[in-house]
């Protein structure tokens, strides 16, 4: 079966390096719209998206995130911080933010762009975590948590190949462990 959505899901890749090419405003808006239309618990829509283009801010963010993503964060023309009000939805805010980030990553792919999901959320909300540092840089209020930074742009080089487990390796029937 061939379906545009399923093909986008299968072909989306996480990239670590980006070309120095601007992303059109209409594409950024379409990506943000995809995030806005993500599912959320009882339709709370507790998310806020911060669009970051400033090289200085991206450099500061690159100092706060895991080293694998530093270069891509500096290079990507766009970074979107996916934040969620944890007071509005204290039980499902992580899933809500993750669904919005996934929608945006898929939208970027469907528009001919690449993305990288940089998970920064810290379950324990520790003082010196990557999330804490990102919140400080972006002046995110206390009740709002940062789920991810999504870097977006044109891939530098080729898209990486993607190895996936087979369905047989991950699917059980009726009960866990039952094939």
Strands of 33-168 (E only): list them.
Answer: 47-52, 78-85, 114-119, 144-153
Domain annotation covers residue 17: yes
Domain annotation covers residue 79: yes
The per-residue pLDDT for 30 is 98
Domain annotation covers residue 131: yes
Neighbouring C-beta atoms of residue 99, cutoff 10 Å = 20
User: What's the number of domains the chain is made of?
Assistant: 1
The DSSP annotation for 46-66 comes to: -EEEEEE--HHHHHHHHTTS-
The per-residue pLDDT for 14 is 86
The per-residue pLDDT for 161 is 78
Residue 52 CA to residue 85 CA, distance in Å, equals 19
Domain annotation covers residue 178: no
Q: What is the pLDDT of residues 18-31, one digit of tens each?
A: 998 999 999 999 99
CATH of the domain at 78: 3.40.109.10
The per-residue pLDDT for 42 is 94
Domain annotation covers residue 66: yes
Domain annotation covers residue 175: no
Domain annotation covers residue 84: yes
The per-residue pLDDT for 19 is 93
Domain annotation covers residue 12: yes
- In which domain, by residue range, is 125 found? 4-170
Q: Which residues of the chain have pLDDT under 50?
A: none
The per-residue pLDDT for 145 is 97
pTM for this prediction: 0.93
């Amino acid at each position: 079966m061939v379906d545009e959505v399923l093909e986008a899901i299968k072909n989306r890749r996480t990239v670590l390096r980006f070309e120095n090419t601007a992303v059109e405003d209409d594409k950024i808006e379409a990506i943000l719209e995809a995030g806005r239309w993500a599912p959320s618990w009882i339709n709370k829509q507790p998310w806020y998206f911060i669009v970051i283009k400033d090289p200085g801010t991206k450099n500061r963010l690159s100092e706060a995130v895991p080293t694998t993503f530093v270069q891509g964060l500096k290079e990507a023309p766009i970074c979107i911080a996916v934040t969620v009000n944890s007071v509005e939805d204290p039980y499902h805010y992580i899933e809500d933010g993750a669904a919005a980030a996934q929608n945006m990553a898929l939208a970027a792919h469907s528009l001919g762009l690449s993305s990288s999901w940089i998970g920064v959320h810290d379950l324990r909300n520790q003082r010196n975590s990557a999330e804490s540092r990102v919140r400080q840089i972006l002046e995110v209020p206390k009740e709002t948590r940062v789920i991810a930074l999504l870097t977006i742009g044109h891939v530098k080089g080729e898209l990486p190949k993607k190895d996936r487990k087979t369905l047989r390796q991950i699917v059980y029937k009726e009960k866990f462990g039952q094939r």
